[in-house]
Structure 1
Amino acid sequence: MNKIIKIIIFLGLIWLVGINIYAAEVEVESEISEICVYTDSALINRVAHLELATGSYKAVFSNIIPEVDENSLRVSAEGSAVIKLFGAQVKKEYLEEVPSERIKQLEEEIQRLEDEIAGMQNLKAVLTEKKNFLNSITLFSNEQIPQDLVTKMPPISDLENILNFLDLGLKENYAQALDCELQIRDLKNKMETLQNELSQISGVQEKIKRSIIVELEVLKEGSADLKVSYLVKGASWNPIYDARANFETSEVELVSYGVIKQATGEDWLEVDCSLSTAKPRVGGSMPYVAPWFLRPYQPEVRKDKMSVASAPAYQTEAFKKEAGALEEKVEGEIEFATAEEKGIAVVYTLPAKIAVKSDNSEHKFPISSQILSAVFEYSSYPRVSPFAYLGSRVTNSKGLQLLAGRVNIFLEGDFVGFSSMGNIAPSEEFDLYLGIDENVKVKRECLEKKVDETLIAGIPSRTKRTTYQYKLTVENYKSKKIKVKLYEALPISEDDRIKIKINEISLEPGIKDWEDRKGIWLWELELEPQQKQEIFYTFTVEHPRDMIVEGLY
């Protein structure tokens, strides 16, 4: 019995070897049909349209330019022909050549880009001088107009003309400077790509010629689409968002874009494309509200140079008002991608074929748009940042996963700056920060620091007591009533020898130990236009005289 089994296995091996020996090698013409872009790579799908008679073949996909991740190589076939697939492999050939013509072409293109960059930098210098001139007018007006008011009142039209001139001039200057910066960045990216290619092919070198060989047997003749897919490096996409706040309707339009760039070595011309969040990748956001701990001083331990510093905690939960995403889509002419949840990732299929050159330049495509209902309010943590942050608690739509990325902020149609947000799951509530508002002033001041070192019979006491008085100030210079969430960290002792006593509070906070963070106090304030709110508090810290207390300032 064992002898019969061995004979069958032997005959099977001979049959397989025979297929490989006598298989006809056919070089096929293929094209990129579809691409799935990840945050650090891309899955390329190539297809070859074939008419095949019965028999064994080796289909050769030649001139595969990018380096292929061989572990990701997949092959499939569909059509009227009945095909049995035996596998696929990547073949590499090393060719020695001197690509002198390409070197000359690259050097000319690099020189042209250097000239363009120099021209843009000269334009940037001119814009800087223009901004300095406008700033000098502002400075002169700030000094001269008050002097003129002593003797006479300048005509209102003159003041309005000055303001309009400065406003238009500064806005135009800012827009031109921003456009100049973006063009310089784009030119530098292109030049870096060309320089990398030039350094790779300069001089006599070994050039790699890659092919993908698919072994198959046609059991029934007919037509077939033979497809191969493989993962390549040098491609990526990242999200960018436009947040357009409308105070009249209490809504925020959040538009998501995917920015694709690639330098795989071959251009993508009119191909179907999808963007995957399979490998997700954070300032204008409010600083993390951390408790204030006091502990005995300990010398800092020198860390290993290779250790990686932990990332700062991302602040959430700063805005607690209930808000949700409206189901209806925004009316407009932009066609967005369709989203589909696949396993742990969301895949966005772009609505039209795309073209992306292999020059590392950025290409922006719309992904989604949603209207979020919002209750606008301010949040501030003056112990770390002296600003008031405008934002709202909102809810992401179902079926939309948002990756961490930059948020361009538009208030009433005007671009006012940018913020950022973290990874947001479908239907997840999150804090949408809309930047700082200079018309809401926040200040934290230490008014008094009194050290009590009582002497007993001329001998210093064994303990040291220090009393601190702080003042928190919030002022509303806007023309409407606002809500402000004011956070403050009171000191917390982590050692029994350190005693802390809160003495006086002019206004009790609404929440103590906010979100179970010890010592974090929260005041929820409502301020009318031009109203100022001051909060005073004092506390005493007592500790052994010879102890240096860490974190006390």
Structure 2
Amino acid sequence: MKFKYLKLNANIMKLSALLLVMFMAVQFSHGQSTIESKIKSVEVYTKGAEVRRAAKLSLKNGKNEFKISNLSFNLDPKTIQISGEGFTILSVRHELDYLVQENKPDLVNQLLNQSDAVSDSIKYIELEISILQKEMTLLNQNQKIIGDQGIQNQDFKNAVTYFTERFKTLSKEEFNLNLKKGKLNEKLMQIGLQLDSYSAQQKKPSSNVFLTISSDKNQTIPIEISYAVSEAGWFPAYDVRAKDSSQPLSITYKARVYQNTGIDWKDVKLRIASGDLESSGTAPELTPYHLGGTNTYFNGSKGIKQVHGYVLDSEGLPLPSASIFVKGTTLGVTTDNNGFYSIQIPNGNTPILTFRFLGFVTQEKPVTQENINVQMKADVTEMGEVVVTGVNSYSDRLSGQAAGIRIRGVGTIKEEEKPRSIPISYINYQTNFVYDIEIPYNIPSSGKPEVVDMLTKEVEAQFMYSTSPKVKETAYLVAMIKDWTDLKLLDGESNLYFENRFVGKSIIDTNVGSDTLNVSLGKDEGIVINRERLKDFEENKFFSNKKREERHFRITVMNTKSSEVSISIYDQIPVTTKDNIKVNVIEISGAEINKETGLLTWKTQLKPGEKRELTLKYSVEYPKEMDLEIN
């Protein structure tokens, strides 16, 4: 009996201890306040963004504990900063909350509403089709009854006519309803694909930040919470307009801003920054270059100006709003609802395309062909609890030594450390630049770019036409901008407009080692080009083993425009490194010649209506037994 009594007493003690722990946890939770915050501004970088939120704290004299909930799941805990005055921060801790169901982005709710509306329309059409089919069944039955009763000829004919016409009407109505149903089913499928693209995002947790703050009095104060997020950024785009070749060039800067952070940015002020949050700020170092290894510098993209293709998910379905970037540049696009993309490719060594989408593993593909299709793989990385245990990321705002999850000995934040608004719209830092967008924007968490207009600049440019009629008998207008580095341009796609009409797309490629930037404005049919091959001459010397051929071309250039133009005309003569082949220039109409490459250049001015003819004539002498193709 004594043993049983002792065992029962031990169980009671364990139960009491458990109840005490639960009571302390409840007391702790009661002492913790949950506060809501609102996004006030976002500084968007080419890759990554810094979100700034505002909240109010009701502080009591002494120690206070708060939970800031419903933050982006992919925020970087090392970048969390709290600013304000009149209090001391004791600790900051970050956790991922898998239990709270985060609100769906507005776009997802809109798609769900559209899906319900389309489904209801399909059900209504199916009901109408069912009614039509029942009516046709009744007509068939009545027609059979009339036939069985032996009605007189005229009455029978009238009945047949009625049934026939009615059947035609009902059949047409059924056909049209089925067409509508098919289109609605197709629309429903497209909505489903868009919803699937957000499914990975909806399964993600939300973030909570826990604050422990000390106050020397009862007070209500405003604070700012800032942190960096991935799955956001922007890429440049431009509208380049030229009314004619006698007026300045107009360049409109645009930012295509995207984000997939799980939280819609509603009515927020944007700052567009040229930096990259995801890249290191440390200069790279060279590693030993060992000869005999694999040559990584091959130019597999030579001649490729544009790449297109489809991006699919792991199940082979289209992936809308996936991001595609040219690695190392700010050139980027996103896929459409069918997963299709098309991107301009800059000149240089083989570019690499980076394919990114939330919930999938990032892929990189070298540009070796014009069509590149990619199937993304799901990212199975599990995200566990993340706790902030250090203070290095707080910079000058916090001081002290980290001990577990608490920061002790932290002084009150001073007045000069409060965030300050910047009234100007453009800030030029030493390493990058920032544009303040005055009008608030809504950027949904969809991954789909939203176009943000930044500014328009009038730029003095020299206009020059360029043509290589051997390749294509077309003149292209090029705007040459001097001292272009002052314009703060980044690599980006541009829409080209000339004489108030859209002429095509191009890219602004800033990787040039010159103080002059050439911007192509597309072809101009107002300059007529013709390259004509005249009669060839061939000579076989009787007492020689040599063969001599002549080639003769006439190039005609005509200006049909109402203003004078400058034009550079390019052609070539063949070059050789073989001693038994001789190339002789006969006539090149005063062209500049590069003897190493054989490139010919004519630079000329053409008045309105003026036509100019250029002659290109050369000969090639080579052994008779050699099979040589000369163009």
Same fold flag (TM > 0.5): yes
Query: Using a 3 Å threshold, how does the CA distance of structure 1 residues 95 and 475 change in structure 2: closer, same or farther?
Result: same
3-state SS, counterpart of residue 473 of structure 1: strand
3-state SS, counterpart of residue 550 of structure 2: strand
For 1:189 and 1:90, the matched residues in 2 are separated by 36
Matched, 1:254 2:265: no
Identity among equivalent positions (%) equals 19
Please list the CA deviations of residues 59-109 of structure 1 after superposition, one character each: whole Å capped at 9, or x if unmatched: 422122x44153663213222x23235444342425799x9xx99974552
Aligned partner letter, 1:281: T
3-state SS, counterpart of residue 195 of structure 1: helix
**How much does 1:229 deviate?**
1.0
Q: What residue number does 2:206 align with?
A: 210
The answer to whether the 8 Å contact 1:482/1:526 transfers is yes
**How much does 1:498 deviate?**
6.3
**How much does 1:35 deviate?**
0.9
Matched, 1:505 2:587: yes
Q: What residue number does 1:480 align with?
A: 563
Give the TM-score normalised by the residue count of structure 1. 0.60
3-state SS, counterpart of residue 370 of structure 1: strand
Larger radius of gyration: 2
Matched, 1:422 2:508: yes
Please list the CA deviations of residues 185-243 of structure 1 after superposition, one character each: whole Å capped at 9, or x if unmatched: xx999875433125776xxxxx4432232444426445351413121305534322242
Query: Using a 3 Å threshold, how does the CA distance of structure 1 residues 369 and 200 change in structure 2: closer, same or farther?
Result: closer
Aligned partner letter, 2:50: L
For 1:503 and 1:114, the matched residues in 2 are separated by 75
Choose the corresponding residue for 2:39, options 29, 32, 36.
Answer: 32
Query: Using a 3 Å threshold, how does the CA distance of structure 1 residues 83 and 390 change in structure 2: closer, same or farther?
Result: same
Q: What residue number does 1:329 align with?
A: none
The answer to whether the 8 Å contact 2:588/2:617 transfers is no
Aligned partner letter, 1:415: R
Aligned partner letter, 2:593: K
Matched, 1:470 2:553: yes
3-state SS, counterpart of residue 609 of structure 2: coil
For 1:520 and 1:114, the matched residues in 2 are separated by 65
Q: More displaced, 419-428 or 225-234?
A: 419-428
For 1:103 and 1:260, the matched residues in 2 are separated by 19
**How much does 1:507 deviate?**
0.8
**How much does 1:446 deviate?**
3.6
Alignment of structure 1 residues 320-469 onto 2, 5 Å: 338-360=425-447, 362-395=449-482, 400-412=487-499, 414-424=500-510, 429-448=516-535, 461=545, 465-469=548-552
Matched, 1:518 2:590: no
Choose the corresponding residue for 2:610, options 513, 524, 531.
Answer: 531
For 1:58 and 1:548, the matched residues in 2 are separated by 89
Give the TM-score normalised by the residue count of structure 2. 0.53
**How much does 1:40 deviate?**
4.1
Q: What residue number does 1:239 align with?
A: 237
Query: Using a 3 Å threshold, how does the CA distance of structure 1 residues 270 and 439 change in structure 2: closer, same or farther?
Result: same
Query: Using a 3 Å threshold, how does the CA distance of structure 1 residues 95 and 362 change in structure 2: closer, same or farther?
Result: closer
Alignment of structure 1 residues 85-104 onto 2, 5 Å: 86-93=91-98
For 1:399 and 1:380, the matched residues in 2 are separated by 29
The answer to whether the 8 Å contact 1:402/1:425 transfers is no
Q: More displaced, 252-261 or 423-432?
A: 423-432
Question: CA RMSD of the aligned region, Å?
Answer: 4.6
Aligned residues: 402
Give unmatched runs, 5+ long, in structure 2: 1-26, 122-187, 277-328, 332-341, 348-363, 371-422
Aligned partner letter, 1:231: V
Query: Using a 3 Å threshold, how does the CA distance of structure 1 residues 501 and 208 change in structure 2: closer, same or farther?
Result: closer
For 1:108 and 1:546, the matched residues in 2 are separated by 78
The answer to whether the 8 Å contact 1:468/1:539 transfers is yes
Query: Using a 3 Å threshold, how does the CA distance of structure 1 residues 390 and 38 change in structure 2: closer, same or farther?
Result: same
Q: What residue number does 2:60 align with?
A: 53
For 1:89 and 1:76, the matched residues in 2 are separated by 13
Matched, 1:267 2:348: no
3-state SS, counterpart of residue 197 of structure 2: helix
Q: What residue number does 1:281 align with?
A: 330
Query: Using a 3 Å threshold, how does the CA distance of structure 1 residues 220 and 448 change in structure 2: closer, same or farther?
Result: farther
The answer to whether the 8 Å contact 1:274/1:350 transfers is yes
Query: Using a 3 Å threshold, how does the CA distance of structure 1 residues 541 and 276 change in structure 2: closer, same or farther?
Result: farther
Please list the CA deviations of residues 316-358 of structure 1 after superposition, one character each: whole Å capped at 9, or x if unmatched: xxxxxxxxxxxxxxxxxxxx98222234322111112222233
Give unmatched runs, 5+ long, in structure 1: 1-20, 117-186, 202-206, 289-304, 312-335
